[in-house]
Amino acid sequence: MAPAAPRRRFDLAVLLSFGALVLVLATVALLVLDLRERRRLERHLRFADVEDEARFFEEAATYAALRRRVLDGYVEPVESRELLLDALDGGVRALDPHSRLIRPEDQAAVEEQARGEYHGIGVRIDRAEPALTVLYPLEGSPADLAGLRPGDRILRIDEEELGPEDHQHGVEILKGRGNTRVLLRVINAEEPDAPPRVVEAWRQPVPEPAVRHPRPLRSGRVGYVALTGFTPQTKLELLRAMDQLQLAGARSFVLDLRQNGGGSYDAAIECARLFVPHGTIVSERRRGLETEVVRAIPAEARFAGIPLAVLVDRATASAAEILAGALQDHGLAVLLGERTYGKGVVQSTQQITQLIDGLTLGLRLTTEYYFTPLGRNFESRGAGTHGGGLLPDLLVPSEESAIARVRAWMDDLDIPEKHREAVERLSVRSGRPALDERILEEDQLVLAALELLDSSTAVALRLPRPLLQR
């Protein structure tokens, strides 16, 4: 069976010429639907005044004229509904890098991401291989129950053939709706002469912990904790990890926020409250409204005053920047690494219902700016300070390969015992370096943090910021 043709995507600039964001879905529907549908959709329209209403319909007429030109004149047939959705999505995305339209088929994935889980088969993929190759299945996962093994190269997923460079694409299509079947055609690296076999697995929720493998360093004096995201469970995971390390003798901590792209805003606030005893955590400003201030809760500040080094890089974003900014502004941590990504805005997701063909869309729209306790907005698009992002106290350029080695080391620690020998053979065959406990102290940024925590420099770098008295 031939693979389905990819859905046509139109050049963004062309789509934006249709009227950009102002041509909301109701506008187009009013122009092209019958009277009954128009009356139903008029409920969505609100105008500031008569001039606003007149301008609205002028813009709508412009879209209608251009739409007809495209439908009649484009070199290939164009589906009107796809043209509409692409135009709307293009208009929303033009506002900033974070706003977008959420189509019905994408809504489940967005909700899963917010919960810190996804529906998949529970398999770690070998990052060193360009082809989609199983490093190992997670213990008790659908992949494990289906019989996937280390070294299995996935040749086909359902009816879609995978090429030798289809690693990332394959990872994405392994995900899907829960309780759906996926058929995999695989061949194992240790059995090159054996015929491919077909494996059947059923997608299930696969939780992704945000705190992975906290470790004692420097003979237990320093605790290392990597936060890879923020989910509703992150505060409890962080609390448990730091408690265990303190019981083992840790008196200071390295909190690694590199490659942390954010996640739940509420979870980031909860984590910040573990460290900040008084004052502001973050403030939010919406257009035309007063600033809303989120404050610390003294009774929750379990780790207030503990020496803390926070590692950041150019992929540290959003909720991770809220946590890092609060710790930096209150003088509770030294930030090391690179300037952060710079996502200092809040998105609200709204449902738009009763639309064309009964369609329900999600609108993810930027509605507020974040500000750190000292009033810094770190958004990189126009409103940021000095180019956006948070500037570390100690600027240390980092190599992507360094954090990749740390993440791969964490993957190694997840290997089920029954697969460890096979994974080691696979690593030798592919030239994948063996990783051990020393990988952390060989990381230059971790090493800099450890040296800092062992010296008086950490105190000197904490700039006086009288926020704790506010």
Give catalytic residue positions.
Answer: 318, 329, 343
* Residues 428, 212: Cα–Cα separation, whole Å: 25
Is residue 238 within 8 A of residue 227, CB to CB? The reply is: yes
* Residues 207, 389: Cα–Cα separation, whole Å: 29
Beta bridge partners of 310: 255, 335
CB proximity list for 457: less than 8 A, separation 6 or greater: none
Is residue 274 within 8 A of residue 297, CB to CB? The reply is: no
Name the helix (H) or strand (E) containing 170.
helix 167-174
* Residues 273, 256: Cα–Cα separation, whole Å: 17
Query: In this structure, what token pair is assigned to residue 300?
Result: 């929750």
- Phi then psi for residue 154, to 5 deg, are -85, 115
Is residue 341 within 8 A of residue 370, CB to CB? The reply is: no
Helical spans, DSSP H, in 359-456: 400-413, 417-430, 439-442, 444-453
Where in 133-244 does DSSP place strands (E)? 134-137, 152-157, 160-161, 181-188, 197-202, 204-207, 215-217, 222-226
- Phi then psi for residue 19, to 5 deg, are 130, 0
Is residue 360 within 8 A of residue 352, CB to CB? The reply is: yes
Query: In this structure, what token pair is assigned to residue 252?
Result: 């200071």
* Residues 196, 152: Cα–Cα separation, whole Å: 10
Is residue 23 within 8 A of residue 91, CB to CB? The reply is: yes
* Residues 349, 353: Cα–Cα separation, whole Å: 13
Q: Which residue has the tokens 């043709």?
A: 5
One-letter amino acid at 332 equals L
Residue among 123, 114, 323, 372 nearest 225 (CA): 323
CB-based burial label for 319 (10 Å; 0-12, 13-18, 19+):
buried
